[in-house]
Amino acid sequence: MAESMKGLHRSHRCTEVSNENIGQEVTVMGWVQKRRNLGSLIFIDLRDRSGILQLVFDDSTSDAEVLKKANELRSEYVIAATGIVRKRDGAVNNDLKTGDIEIDVKTLRILSESETPPFPIEENSNTKEELRLKYRYLDLRRPDMQRNLILRSKVTTFMRKFLENEGFIEIETPMLTKSTPEGARDYLVPSRVHPGNFYALPQSPQLFKQLLMCSGYDRYLQIVKCFRDEDLRADRQPEFTQVDMELSFVDIDDVIDVNERLLKSLFKEVLDVDIELPIKRMTYKEAMERYGSDKPDTRFGMELVNVSDVVKDCEFGVFANAIKDGGTVRGINATGQGNMPRKKIDKLVEFVKGIGLKGLAYIQIADDGSIKSSFAKFMKDEEMDALIKAMDGKNGDLLLFAADKTKLVFDCLGALRLELADQMGIIDEDKFNFLWVTEFPLFEYSEEQERFVSMHHPFTMPMEEDLDLLDSDLGAVRSKAYDIVLNGYELGGGSVRIHQGDIQEKMFEKLGFTKEDAHERFGFLLDAFKYGVPPHAGLAFGLDRLIMLMAKRDNIREVIAFPKVKDASCLMTDAPNVVDEKQMEELCLASTYVEEKE
């Protein structure tokens, strides 16, 4: 039976008690981490958000009733204890903030009992994630989960403070809105008042923040939930949080400047990590050429090398034909991996096949300089020498080559480079390598739709230098879009927006929208642009990913209190679930799925 805490007031959290309180009476409350009986003594580790504090019940000083209650305590019982702070009798525990003190308990109340939890409440227990998520309320008691969520709160508080000082105003945009054209699938919300009509949950506040710039708010900020009904990955959730901003009367450098200073201050304040400014910038083109990725992990080298020129005339059909077909041959040098067993190399081949490449060509250079290669027999000696030289191949190195269409080669070698680095253990996990990637293509070709689509969104400004290319070579037009990359993750991105009606119209035309299409989808933005629109640009950070990287986790579920799993369900609440027939009727909706089954 739970006792009330009537008349009691907590005087300290567990680790707020220190040896400065010795001799004082304190009242602490929390969960029983564990109980140990040692002769006539009972020790309790009491846990709260702040940490652990040792309670002692001594049968020479505690009264019988208190001792009896203390003996009933089990893990996760919630208790309130009042007693005197004293120096520990026994050994000091240097692992604990309160390791040199203990509370000699005089009165004890059991505020809540507990059944035995389905898994131990401790850091690094390797409980299956499914169980952790079903009992998330227990999992969230783990000190590491508490650290992660407290870190998250610190980060958003700091970012808001910083950006407020920079003149940003936090403005809430609607959650119940109209489909936005971000490309992904919307979550829809049926309307009861307007049967057959739907709201969409926002994929981003893109249009609204641009409207706020039209309205003269100058600098907008919002830390906001966004939604995408897409299949999940380790770093994706159906609902995710963006740190979203937009600025008026600025160009790229202004956006980069304020965000660099934000990141530098944030990492210094919260993690005591120094970020050197300015953060390096790299064009999209350079990033693809050197790393096969538009979000390169620059904590290590192993860059891609273009050997097309070296092998374009060789007898090895895979190489020569790829180039003849307009593709490319590129390699990476896995330094020191010359002795990799054949089996392991085969696994690398399987890895790139998984991404779409037909195979992987390799040269193993043994420590004594002797060479094993999958394609040497097709090559002249001087061609092999030139190839190894181009790759800077040394004794003991493993050279790996991909030959195919350029985009596929980039994708595969980019991924292979990360996989190898991971296997080789050459990534310095203490590094935070930031990078701006700039000059993204404005369009990309969609094989599915057989037309060019926006790489970001149709409001992205083309580079002034490339405006003429809009009429001649869409694939070559670069945009004023930029991403901020951290350790191989896209941390955020943004762009300068089109603020000129004539360029915006041309964009829609090039994307194949009729005037009616464009008006149907973005009418209110186009209307707003008739009444004086300032040049503006913006950026959004993915907060979940930022916190994941700051907490050095490899899954965003570790930094979200109540995440969904792969099928977008919540294992704790069982959402989504069936609803009453009455609710469906009020919305004038019927499930065609149920009908099919019947």
* Residues in region 32-51 near a copy of itself by CB under 8 A: 32, 47-49
Closer CB to a copy of itself, residue 10 or residue 86? 10
Question: Do 443 and 510 touch, CB atoms closer than 8 A?
Answer: yes
Question: Do 53 and 28 touch, CB atoms closer than 8 A?
Answer: yes
> What residues contact residue 229 under an 8 Å CB cut-off, 6+ apart?
184, 185, 186, 187, 238, 568
- Is 228 labeled as ligand-binding? yes
- Is 456 labeled as ligand-binding? yes
Using rule CB under 8 A, residue 188 touches a copy of itself: yes
* Minimum distance from residue 235 beta carbon to a copy of itself (Å): 17
- Is 543 labeled as ligand-binding? yes
Using rule CB under 8 A, residue 69 touches a copy of itself: no
Distance, CA of 246 to CA of 212 (rounded, Å)? 9
List the one residue from 18, 37, 446, 573 that touches a copy of itself (CB under 8 A). Answer: 573
- Is 253 labeled as ligand-binding? no
Closer CB to a copy of itself, residue 117 or residue 336? 117
* Minimum distance from residue 546 beta carbon to a copy of itself (Å): 14
Using rule CB under 8 A, residue 270 touches a copy of itself: no
Looking at the DSSP assignment, which residues form a beta bridge with residue 436? 281, 484
List the one residue from 59, 100, 104, 113 that touches a copy of itself (CB under 8 A). Answer: 113
Using rule CB under 8 A, residue 593 touches a copy of itself: yes
If you search the block for the tokens 């590129």, which residue do you land on? 330
Using rule CB under 8 A, residue 204 touches a copy of itself: no
- Is 545 labeled as ligand-binding? yes
Six token digits for residue 202 = 């926002």
Looking at the DSSP assignment, which residues form a beta bridge with residue 363? 373, 399
Using rule CB under 8 A, residue 159 touches a copy of itself: no
Using rule CB under 8 A, residue 120 touches a copy of itself: no
Distance, CA of 249 to CA of 218 (rounded, Å)? 8
Distance, CA of 478 to CA of 537 (rounded, Å)? 16
List the one residue from 150, 277, 366, 476 that touches a copy of itself (CB under 8 A). Answer: 150
List the one residue from 5, 131, 371, 511 that touches a copy of itself (CB under 8 A). Answer: 5
Using rule CB under 8 A, residue 130 touches a copy of itself: no
Q: Of 116, 222, 233, which Cα lies nearest the Cα of 175?
A: 222
- Is 519 labeled as ligand-binding? no
Distance, CA of 425 to CA of 500 (rounded, Å)? 50
DSSP codes joined into one string, 249-309: S--HHHHHHHHHHHHHHHIIIII-----SSPPEEEHHHHHHHHSSSS--TTS----EE-HH
Which range, of 146-154, 273-281, 390-398, 416-424, touches a copy of itself by CB under 8 A?
146-154
Which range, of 53-61, 136-144, 311-319, 335-343, touches a copy of itself by CB under 8 A?
136-144
Residue 493 has phi, psi (to 5 degrees) of -165, 165
- Is 219 labeled as ligand-binding? no
Tally of CA atoms within 13 A in the half-sphere of 339 that contains its CB: 5
Closer CB to a copy of itself, residue 55 or residue 329? 55
Residue 437 has phi, psi (to 5 degrees) of -105, 125
Q: Strands 25-38 and 443-446: what pairing?
A: unpaired
Q: How many residues bind a copy of itself (CB under 8 A)?
A: 129
Question: Do 81 and 26 touch, CB atoms closer than 8 A?
Answer: no
* Minimum distance from residue 440 beta carbon to a copy of itself (Å): 20
If you search the block for the tokens 């706020």, which residue do you land on? 212
- Is 490 labeled as ligand-binding? yes
Using rule CB under 8 A, residue 576 touches a copy of itself: yes
Distance, CA of 464 to CA of 157 (rounded, Å)? 38
Using rule CB under 8 A, residue 93 touches a copy of itself: no
Helix (H, G, I), strand (E, B) or coil at 32: strand
Which range, of 310-318, 354-362, 364-372, 556-564, touches a copy of itself by CB under 8 A?
556-564
- Is 536 labeled as ligand-binding? no
Using rule CB under 8 A, residue 422 touches a copy of itself: no
Using rule CB under 8 A, residue 460 touches a copy of itself: no
* Minimum distance from residue 502 beta carbon to a copy of itself (Å): 7
* Minimum distance from residue 27 beta carbon to a copy of itself (Å): 10
**Cα 201 to the center of its chain, rounded Å:** 21
List residues forming the annotated binding site.
182, 228-230, 237, 456, 490, 497, 542-545
List residues forming the annotated binding site for L-aspartate.
182, 228, 456, 497
